[in-house]
Amino acid sequence: MTDPATLDVTLVDGYVDEPAHFGVPPYVSTYPRYTAGALVDAGVPEERITYHTIDALRETPGKWQDVEEADLLVYIGGMTVPGKYVGGTPAEPDEVRRMAWTADGTTLMGGPVRFGVGDQNEGGSDMERKDLDYDFVAKGDVEAAAFDLVESGLEGFNNRMRDVEEVTRWAKQGAFVVESHPNHPDYLIAELETSRGCPYRCSFCTEPLYGNPTFRPPETVVSEVEALYERGVRHFRLGRQADILAYGGDGEAPNPDALRELYGGIRAVAPDLGTLHLDNMNPITVVEYPERSREGIEVIAEHNTPGDTAAFGLESADPVVQEENNLNVTADECFEAVRIVNEAAGWRPGEDPSKAPTHGEDAATRLPKLLPGINLLHGLKGETRETYELNEQFLHRVYDAGLMLRRVNIRQVMAFDGTEMSETGSQIAKDHKKLFKQYKTRVREEIDRPMLRRVAPAGTRLPDVHLEYHQDGKTFGRQLGTYPLLVAIPGEHELGQTLDLAVTDHGYRSVSGVPYPLDVNAASMDELTAIPGLGKQRAGNLVVDRPFDALSDAEERVETSLVDFAEVRSPEGAD
């Protein structure tokens, strides 16, 4: 019998992306944390557990030795929705298989990878269940499998789901693993689970494979936040649930009191948190329970941090597609849900919440507290050319009504075994590839850019933007949070630092900005040129005539307001 106290275990995080769970950096998912906690609970000492991300293995080949020499290798990964990622690159099947070949010890694979693997992690593809040459594949919860496997002396386990008591222990016991994440502590956001499962059965979605909703009591989530906070985490996202409004209820009806206990408890144990965001909110809940939903949304907006997004799974505005794929919300219902969220949470810090939604010249210079985001999925059963037209009509309706969307997420389906879409596969998505591409371009031009100007007009302040990479003489960064804006700033600034920025211009899904506040007496020519209303000639006039003693002097020189972007500091800063 193998003594757990003598085991060396290596956890490799290949990243996950599910309909209700995200774990690509800067996010860290629940899986490696809970698995580490399960291992500790089974008797493996913390110091004998090594955690690596797939990117860390790529960047430091010497870390593969930990894969090779471990008594137990646990690989965690799997993408069940398609996406494009900036902070990390999910593991490809060949890399996952290489780990199994490299490891001398016992190998266990788990996470959403159990639902299926494709040739690539992308939309419009068919996914098959494969063991990728691992000794064991967890068909249930990987954390439960790891616990049982260690208890059995690495002989085996029965596939099962963990219970609330276990996850309560494991979430706290496994918090230590975040300290080994390459992004820890400053650029790491911890995904938090409030529930799993869904009462609805959309044809494409893997979330119903977890069963009907089961909820973690507020105090268990709060204790997890406290443990992570003590380990240096300051950014959190309640992303692991199909519908945040249903939390603490019967799976469908909202429970505002449970949300109040959850959010209030998190704020109490993490008083200096930097981010508190969420992800999924079901629009059908909002329209079927409008008053209780409005109260719950107001609770969220009271406690969260600005720029939060509630992802709405409309998926399609086409009634035919809705019926053939068991989608639970119509376009009219989703429009009403968008309106309610705008009214309940579309205000900006420093404003009267009763005035929401706010945009235009009189709006405060911060992002709104909480806005809906629309998910549209293509390649579903029943899709025709008219589907694309109906989706565009819905988006134009929202915009023309003066409402706000934080983002529109357009994807093509991934067909997994166990879902109804497995019968149809990805053929419709492949047949409509050209149509999809043209439609996506129209949405970006006609909806995304004007909507972004409404949500984040020029002068909007974006605190704590993390600078990630250089490209074409610019530096790109993002805030931590749900669907954060990608911001491009002039010049090549030092990567890894954080800057406060002011928005200056808009792309389709990103913005341009300058450090806020710019010192007119020291700013570069490119930075000054980026300020709306200046251009090269006026920016050149500022450079020639500086130093200025007051901002008003600079504004008089160029006949343009600079107050939303700049200030005048010591004349000694001038060139």
| Residue 547, CA atoms < 13 Å, CB-side half-sphere | 12
Q: Per residue in 360-373, is it b (16+ CB within 10 Å) or e — as a string?
A: eeebebbbbbbbbb
Cβ-proximal residues to 15 (8 Å cutoff; 6+ apart), any chain: 23, 24, 25, 29, 53, 54, 77, 79, 85, 88, 90, 91
Q: What's the pLDDT score for residue 122? A: 45
Instruction: Retrieve residue 464's tokens.
Output: 């704590």
Q: In the CATH scheme, what is the code of domain 306-457?
A: 3.30.750.200
From the centroid of its chain, how far is CA 250?
26
Q: What's the pLDDT score for residue 361? A: 83
DSSP string, 466-518: EEEEEETTEEEEE-SSSSPPEEEEES-PPTT-EEEEEEEEE-SSEEEEEESSE
d(CA 98, CA 460): 47
d(CA 85, CA 64): 24
Q: What is the mean pLDDT of each run of 10 residues along the chain (575 residues)?
A: 92 89 93 98 98 97 97 91 75 92 96 60 47 88 96 93 93 98 95 82 61 86 98 95 88 91 98 95 95 98 97 92 89 97 97 94 93 92 92 98 95 64 65 87 96 97 96 96 94 96 95 96 95 94 94 94 91 54
DSSP string, 273-335: -SEEEE-B--HHHHHHSHHHHHHHHHHHHHHS-TTEEEEEEEE---HHHHHHTT----HHHHH
d(CA 99, CA 92): 11
Predicted model pTM: 0.91
Residue 252 carries which side chain, given as an amino acid letter?
E
d(CA 144, CA 114): 14
Cβ-proximal residues to 549 (8 Å cutoff; 6+ apart), any chain: 568, 571
d(CA 495, CA 484): 18
Cα–Cα distances in Å, from 572 out to 63, 525, 535, 543?
Answer: 49, 17, 25, 14
Identical fold at 188-305 and 306-457?
yes
- Token pair 């690159």 is found at 89
d(CA 111, CA 562): 51
Q: Which CATH architecture has domain 1-21+30-163?
A: 3-Layer(aba) Sandwich (3.40)
Q: What's the pLDDT score for residue 126? A: 42
Q: Angle, to 10 degrees, between the axis of helix 290-303 and the axis of helix 256-269?
A: 10
Question: CB neighbours (10 Å) of residue 61?
Answer: 8
Tell which residue, 304, 33, 308, 44, has the closest CA to residue 184. Answer: 33
**Eight-state DSSP code of residue 522:** T
Q: Which CATH architecture has domain 188-305?
A: 2-Layer Sandwich (3.30)
Instruction: Retrieve residue 100's tokens.
Output: 């199994």
| Residue 6, CA atoms < 13 Å, CB-side half-sphere | 5
d(CA 388, CA 390): 5
d(CA 46, CA 181): 15
- Token pair 């079927």 is found at 288
CATH topology of domain 460-567: OB fold (Dihydrolipoamide Acetyltransferase, E2P) (2.40.50)
Bridge partners of 506, per DSSP, are 511
Q: Where are the domains of the chain?
A: 1-21+30-163, 188-305, 306-457, 460-567
